[in-house]
Structure 1
Amino acid sequence: MRMMPISMCRPGMKLGKRIFSDDGIVLLAEGVELTAPLLRRLGENGISYLYIQDPRTEGIEVPEILSEETHRQALNTIRSVFRDFVDQPGKRRTGTYPYVGRNLRQVMHLIMDDLQRNRDAMIMLMNLQTVDHYLYMHSLNVCVYTTLLGMAYGYGTDELATLGLGALLHDVGKTQISMQVLLKPGQLSSAEYEEMKRHAERGYYLLKDEPNIPLIAAHCALQHHERLDGSGYPRGLKGDEIHEYARWIGIVDSYDAMTTHRVYRDPMLPHRAVETLYAGSGTLYDTAMLRVFRDKVAIYPVGITVRLNTGQTGVVVDINSASAHRPIVRVLTDEANADLKTPYDIDLSKQLSVMITGIEAGPSER
C-alpha cells in the first residue's frame, strides 16, 4: 500500500487500510473502491491522507504503534472523561470524580504494555484514517509520542505513568472553552485567542484536586505552553522553571498540532514539522530534548512517495531506526519518470550517495 494526499486520490482507487470512527467502529473496510462523493465526504471529515492499494507496493505494511483494542479503549475513555469535565466556560466546577484517575491509569497501563513490547518503535503519524474529534485523538497522540520519548530518555515505570497521564490530560482545559472558539475555522480574534489561552489554567484547576491524578499532571496542563525564553503562557516561565515533563509535552504537542488536520489548515508532514521545531531550539524548546525527539521521529512515514537525487521516485518501505532520515525505499520509476517493469528496494542507510530530495504531497506541502 502507499500513502497519498486525498487531493491526489481518484475514484476507482481502493483503500489499503480501514477507516475508523473516533470510538473504533469501522466506517469503511479495506478494499473499498473510492468514489467522488466518498472522497469529498472524507475530506470534509478531516482526513487529509489515505492509504491506497497499489500492486507495485504490495507487501508494504504500515506498523501500528498501538493495538486496535488499546486504541479503541483509550479513545472511549478519553471521550468519556473529557465529557464529564465539560461545563459552562468559566463556571467553577464543584466536586471530584475519583473514578476518572482510575480509568485513565488503566488506559496508561494498556498503552505502556503495547509500547514496552516494541521499545524501538518510532514516532509515526497515528491514525491518519480516523474520522475523529480532534481533541480526543490529539490527546492520545501526545500521550503515546511523549511516553515513547520518556522510554528513550530512560524514565522508570512510575515516571512514565505520570508523564503519560500528564500528556493525556494536557489539553483537558479545552473542555471549558466555548465550541465557537475551539472549532472556529478561521483565525482567532485577539479576544478569542486570549480565551483559548485560558485552557492551560483551567486544565490545572480541573485536575489539581482529583484524588487519583498526580499533581504533576495538573502542572503539565498548566505549563505545556510555556517556553524556555519566557515567551509562553500563562505565566511566562523560563528554563528550569518549567517542569521537565511539561517541556517534553510542549515539544510533542506542537509537533502533533502541526502534523494533524485542523479546521483552518492542512497538516504538515513530519520533516517540515521537525524543521519548524528545530527553528526554536534553545529558545522555545530544550535542545537536548529535541535531539531525542528527532531520533525517534519517522521523518518519512512508511508508504509515502519520495523523490531521489537520481531523478527516480519510490515509496518508503521501512524505517531505519538508527538513521530515520535514510529509510528503505522501493524505487518505482526511472530517471525519466517512466514506471519500472520491476520495482526494487534500496536501503538509503547503505547507499549513501542516494538521498531524498522531496516528497509527493498535497498543495499545502509543495
Structure 2
Amino acid sequence: MRLISLDVLQPGMIIANTIWNESGRPLIQKDVVVSQQIINRLKQLNIKYVYIEDKISKGIEVRESIPVQKRLGAVKKITESFKKLKGVEGKKASYILDQQSSEIGKLVDELLDSILNSKEMLTIITDSFLYDEYLYQHSFQVTLYSLAIAKELGYPHKELKLIGIGAMLHDVGKLQIPTSILFKPGRLTDEEFETMKQHTTFGFDILRNLHSISLLVAHCAFQHHERLDGSGYPRGLVEKDIHPYAKILAIADVFDAVTSDRVYRNKMLPSEGVQLIESGSGKIFDKKCVEAFKRCIVHYPNGTIVLLTDGRRGVVAKQNLNNSSLPLVRIFEENNTLVKSTYMINLEEHPQVLIEKIEPDYLAAVE
C-alpha cells in the first residue's frame, strides 16, 4: 500500500486501510473501490491523505504501533473522563478527576506496556481514525509520543507512568475554555488566543489539588507551552526553570498538533513535523529530547513516495531501526522513467543518497 493525497485520488483506485469513527465503526472499508461519491465524502470529512493499493507498492505493509481496538478503547475512556469535567471548575473538578485517577492510571499502564514491549519505532496513522473532538485524540497521541521519548531517554518505569499521566491530562484545562474559542473553525484573534493560553493555568489548578496523583503531573499541564528561550507561556520560563517532563511534552504536543487535521490549516506529514521540531532544537526545544524523539518516531512511514537526490523515485518499504531518517526504499523510477523491475536500496548503506522530498501527489507510475 502507499500514501496518496486526496487531491489526486481517482475513481477506480482501491482503499488500503479502513477508516474508523470514534465509536469503532468503519466509515469506509478496506478494499473498497473508490468512486467519485467516496472522494466527495472524504473531502467532507476533511481527510487529506489515504492509503491505496497499487502495483508499485504491492506487499508493503503499514501497521500502526497501537492496534485499532486498543486505540479506539483508549480514546473512548479519555473522552468519558474529560466530558465529566465539562463546565465544572475549581475543587469540584479536582474531586471528579480524583475519582477517575485509578482508571486513568490503568489506561496509561496499558499504553506503556505497548510501548515497552515494542522494538519498533512509533507509527501513528491519524487519517485512519475520525473523532468528533480533536482534544481527546490529541491527548491520546501526545501520551504515546511522550512515553516513546521518555523510554528512549531511559526513564525508569515509575517516572514513565508519571510522564504518561501528565501527558494524558496536559490539556485538561481546555475544558474550561469557552467552546466558541476551543472549537472555532479558524484562526483565533489575539484576544481569543490570550483566553486559550489560560488552559495551562486552569489545568494546573485542577491537577495540583488531586490527592491521588503526583504534583509533577500538574507541572506537565502548567509548563508544556514553555520554551527554552523564554518565548513560551504562561510564565515565560527559560531552560533551567522548565521541568524535564514538560520539555518532553512540549515536543510531543507540537508534533501531534502539526501532523493532525485541523479545519484552519493543512496537516504536515511526519517528516515535515520532524523537521519543524528539529529546527527548534537547542533553541526552544531541549536538544536531548529532540534527538530521542527523532530516534523513536517514524520519519517516512511505509508507503510514502520519495524522490531521492540522485533522481530516483521510490516508495518507502521498510524502516531502519538504527536510523529512522534513512529507510529502505523500493525504487520504481530512474530519472522519470519506470524501471523494468523494481529493486530495493537501503539509504543507511548509501550516505551519499538522501531523500530530497516526499511526493504524496505523485501519480505518473500508476497512470
If the length of structure 1 is used for normalisation, what is the TM-score? 0.93
Task: Give 1:126's aligned amino acid.
Answer: I
State the 1:56 CA deviation: 2.5
Question: Residues 123-149 of structure 1, C-alpha deviation per residue, up to 9 Å, x if partnerless?
Answer: 324332111121111111110011011
Tell me the matched-pair count.
359
Alpha-carbon shift at residue 206 of structure 1 (Å): 2.2
Query: Which residues of 2 match residues 216-231 of structure 1 at below 5 A?
Result: 216-231=216-231
Q: Spell out the pairing of 1:309-324 with structure 2 (5 A cutoff).
A: 309-324=309-324
Say whether the 8 Å CA contact 2:64–2:124 is kept in structure 1. no
Give, in angstroms, the shift of residue 68 of structure 1: 2.3
Cα pair 1:183 1:263 within 8 Å, conserved: no
Distance in 1 (alpha carbons) for counterparts of 2:180 and 2:10: 34
C-alpha distance 250-362 of structure 1, shift in aligned 2 (>3 A): farther
Aligned positions of 1:245-324 closer than 5 A: 245-324=245-324
Q: For residues 122 and 355 of structure 1, what CA distance do their matches in structure 2 show?
A: 20
Matched, 1:338 2:337: yes
* Corresponding letter in the other structure for 1:73: G
**Alpha-carbon distance between aligned partners in 2 of 1:83 and 1:35, rounded to the nearest angstrom:** 37
Letter in 2 for 1:53: E
Give the aligned partner of residue 79 of structure 1.
79
Q: d(CA) in 1 for partners of 2:357 and 2:232? A: 33
Deviation, 1:309, is 2.3
Structure 1 residues 112 and 92 mapped into 2: Cα distance closer, same or farther (>3 Å)? closer
Partner SS, residue 349 of structure 1: helix
> What do residues 321-359 of structure 1 show as CA deviations (whole Å, max 9, x unaligned)?
212221101112232x23334222221112333321111
Which residue number corresponds to residue 365 of structure 2?
none
Q: How does 1:108-257 map to 2 (within 5 A)?
A: 108-118=108-118, 120-132=119-131, 133-257=133-257
Aligned-residue CA RMSD (Å) = 1.8
Between the aligned partners of 1:59 and 1:211, the Cα distance in structure 2 is 51
Counterpart residue type for residue 145 of structure 2:
Y
Q: Deviations over 1:74-115 (max 9, x none)?
A: 111111011111117xx5462612331111111111111111
Residue correspondence of structure 1 range 83-98 to structure 2 within 5 A: 83-87=83-87, 91-92=89-90, 94=92, 96-97=95-96, 98=98
List per-residue Cα deviations over 1:263-317 (Å, max 9, x = no partner): 1001112232222223322221111211111222222111110012232211101
Identity %: 35
Shift of 1:168: 0.9
Distance in 2 between residues matched to 1:227 and 1:361, nearest whole Å:
32
CA distance in 2, matches of 1:37, 1:264: 24
**What is the match of residue 360 of structure 1?**
359
Q: CA deviation at 1:121?
A: 2.4
Distance in 1 of aligned mates of 2:283 and 2:350: 36
Q: C-alpha distance in 2, partners of 1:68/1:243?
A: 33
Secondary structure (helix, strand or coil) at the match of 1:295 reads helix
Native 8 Å contact 2:91 2:209 kept in 1: no
Q: Which runs of 5+ in 2 are unaligned?
A: 363-367
Over 3 Å counting, the alpha-carbon distance change for 1:362 and 1:254 in structure 2 is farther
What is the distance in 1 between the residues matched to 2:213 and 2:27? 34
Superimposed CA distance per residue, residues 243-277 of structure 1 (whole angstroms, 9 cap, x where no aligned partner) = 11011000111111111111100111223222222
Q: Give distance in 2, aligned partners of 1:68 and 1:187.
A: 32
In structure 2, what is the equivalent of residue 49 of structure 1?
Answer: 49
- 1:18 corresponds to 2:18: yes
Counterpart code for 2:253: D
The letter of the residue matching 1:253 is: D
Structure 1 residues not aligned, in runs of 5+: none
